[in-house]
Amino acid sequence: MQNNDQDIHAQPILIVDFGSQYTQLIARRVRECGVYCEIHPFDIDPQHIAEFNPAGVILSGGPESVTEGQTPRIADEIFALGVPVLGICYGMQAMASQLGGIVSASNKREFGHAQVEMVSPSKLLKSLGDGKGSANVWMSHGDKVSELPTGFICTGSSGSAPIAAMELAEKNFYGVQFHPEVTHTDGGDRLLLNFTKDICGCAGDWTAANIVEDAIAKVREQVGTDKVLLGLSGGVDSSVVAALLSKAIGDQLTCIFVDNGLLRKGERDEVELAFQNAIGEGELSPLNIITVAAEDEFLDKLAGVDDPEAKRKIIGGTFIDVFDREAQKLQDVNWLAQGTIYPDVIESAASKYGKAHVIKSHHNVGGLPERMTMQLVEPLRELFKDEVRKIGLHLGLPESLVHRHPFPGPGLGVRILGEVKKQYADVLREADKIFIDELRKADLYSKTSQAFTVYLPVKSVGVVGDARRYEHVIALRAVETIDFMTARWAHLPYEFIELVSNRIINEISAVSRVVYDVSSKPPATIEWE
C-alpha cells in the first residue's frame, strides 16, 4: 500500500521522442518497471525539462539521419541536468555525434535479430542475454556510431555494428544501437530495469495499487462534494472510470448509458453484471445508471445516409444532443468525467506538429466538453491501456470486461455498410454474438485483438434445405495487433471459421453467405468504414 507521504510521480523518467514507431513501447516498458514516465517531443521547451525534474532521460529512436544537417538534435540542457541519459538507436547516434563522436551513414539498413557480445563490464548490460556475455537483440538501423565520443568506452559489439553499446559511466551516459523495448531483444526488460532502478535510482512504486490510491485522492481533491456525470459505454475505459469514481466518490457519481440502437446484443446487461460482483464483494458502491432509450432518434437521423464520415458525424452529434438533454434534467452537476487515456493525450499533443493524419474521424464524445459548461475530470489521462486494465482488475472488475475487445464509438453504425437500418442492426447483433461466443468457447477470444462481424447489404443466392435463399452477406473480421495502427488478419483455424459460418447461416435466415476478411492494415483499415 502507498503511504500517504509517497509521491508516485516524484522520480519520473523523461522520454524524448525523435519519432520512432517504438517510442510508446519504451514508455510502456518503463512503466512495467514500476516507474512513471512521460513522452515529450525532441523540441520540448528546455524550461519544461527543468520543471519536469527527471530522474533520468531516455532518447528514443527515429527515422532521420544525424549525418544530415537539418535533423533533430538533443537539447544541450539534457546533458547538463546531471542525471543518467540512455540513447536508443537514433538517440545513441545523436548523443555520440553531439558529444564529439562520429556517426557514419550506411546505404544498407540492418533490420532483425543480431548477436551482441558484451565486451566490457557494464551496469546497464548486467544480466543481459545468455549469461555468457552474448545477447540476441533486435536491430533496426541504417547509420551507426563509428567513433566513440571522448571518454566513452564500447561495451557491446555486433557483426554489423562494432559499437553496438557505449557508455561514459562517470556521467551515466549510455547508448545502445539495438532496441531493448521490443520483446525480440533478450533481456531488454532487464536493461530498462537496470537503467531505471540501479542507474537512475527510481523506487519502482508505480504499481496498480498505488496508482488507484493516487487517483482516488486526486479525484476527491478535485471535485470535493460536487456531483459528477459519466457517459458509460460498456467499453473498458469508461467502465474503469466508473469503478474508480465509484470508489472515490460513491453516489456523487451518475452514469448515463445511451442506447443508440447500434450496440451489441446485451451490452447494457453485461456492464451491469460486471459491476454487480464488485459491488457484492463490497469493492464498489452501487452505480446510479440512467439508461436512455434513443434508438429511434439515432436511426431516424441516419435514414438515407450512406457516407461513412457523414454517419460518424451524425452519430457523434446525436450522442451529444441526447447526453446534453439528459444532463440538463439533473441538478447541480458540474463535472463531466471522461475516459481519456495517455495515448490520446500524446496524439493530440503531437498533432500540433502536423504529424497526425486523419484517416477516420474517431470522435466519440469529442464535442461534449465544449457544449456543456462542465469541468472535466479525466482520471486515466496518465495511463496506457494495459495500465487501465490492471487497475480495472485491481478495482474488482471481471476479466471478461477488462479484456474486452475495443468497440468503436459509432458502434454497429460503421459495421453496417451504407445506410443503417434497424433490421440490419438486429441481424448483425445476432451474427456478432455467434462469432464472439464461439471465439470464447474455442479459447480464441484473447488470442485475437479485435473480432466482429460486418453487414454487407449486397444480395447473394444460397440454398438451405431445398429452398433457394436470396439474402445478404456477413463478413467475419478478426485481427491481431499491438497498437491498432497496424494489424494482421487473424489466422483462425479453417474448422473454426466453418463452424461459425454454419451457425450464422443456419440460425439467421436473413443471411445467405459468410465470408472471411483476409486484409491486413495497412492497406485496409480494421473497420470496414
The catalytic site residues sit at 89, 179, 181
Contact window for ligand XMP (CB under 6 A) among 287-295, 377-385, 491-499, 519-527: 519-527
231: contact with ligand XMP by CB under 6 A:
no
522 near ligand XMP (CB under 6 A):
no
Min dist. Cβ of residue 407 to ligand XMP (A):
7
Containing H/E element for 236? helix 236-249
User: What region does 89 belong to: left with phi over 0, alpha with psi -120 to 50, or beta?
Assistant: left
Contacts with 382 (C-beta within 8 Å, 6 or more apart), sequence order: 36, 342
* Region 361-380 residues binding ligand XMP, contact defined as CB under 6 A: 362, 364
CB 233 within 8 A of CB 262: no
φ, ψ for residue 247, nearest 5 deg:
-70, -35
> With binding defined as CB under 6 A, does residue 408 bind ligand XMP?
yes
**Residues touching ligand XMP, count (CB under 6 A):** 15
- The distance between the two most distant Cα atoms of the chain, rounded to a whole number of Å, is 84
How far apart CA 338 and CA 242 sit, in angstroms, is: 10
Binding of ligand XMP by 484 (CB under 6 A): yes
Between 133 and 369, whose beta carbon lies closer to ligand XMP? Answer: 369
* 59 phi/psi in degrees, rounded to 5: -100, 125
Binding mask 446-475 for ligand XMP (x = CB under 6 A): ----x-------------------------
Tell whether residue 156 is a contact of ligand XMP (CB under 6 A). no
Q: What's the rounded Cα separation, in Å, for the pair 24 and 492?
A: 29
Give the nearest distance from C-beta 219 to ligand XMP in angstroms.
24
409 binds ligand XMP (CB under 6 A): yes
- Is 527 among the residues that bind ligand XMP (CB under 6 A)? yes
**Residues within window 431-450 making contact with ligand XMP, judged by CB under 6 A:** 450
CA–CA dist 390, 403 (Å, integer)? 10
The one-letter amino acid code at 521 reads K
Q: Per CB under 6 A, which of residues 323..352 are in contact with ligand XMP?
A: none
Phi, then psi, of 357 in degrees rounded to 5: -120, 120
Single out the residue of 63, 280, 406, 493 in contact with ligand XMP (rule: CB under 6 A).
Answer: 406
Q: What is the 3-state secondary structure (H, E, C) of 427-488?
A: HHHHHHHHHHHHHHHCCCHHHCCEEEEEEEEEEEEEEECCEEEEEEEEEEEEEECCCCCCEE
Task: Give the binding range for ligand XMP (CB under 6 A) out of 18-26, 85-93, 118-126, 402-410.
Answer: 402-410
Stretch that binds ligand XMP, among 4-12, 53-61, 505-513, 520-528 (CB under 6 A): 520-528
Shortest distance, CB of residue 528 to ligand XMP, whole angstroms? 8
Residue whose C-alpha cell is 523518467: 13
Start-to-end CA distance of the chain, whole Å, equals 46
Nearer to ligand XMP, 211 or 302 (CB): 302
Contact positions vs ligand XMP (CB under 6 A): 312, 359-360, 362, 364, 406, 408-410, 450, 484, 521, 525-527
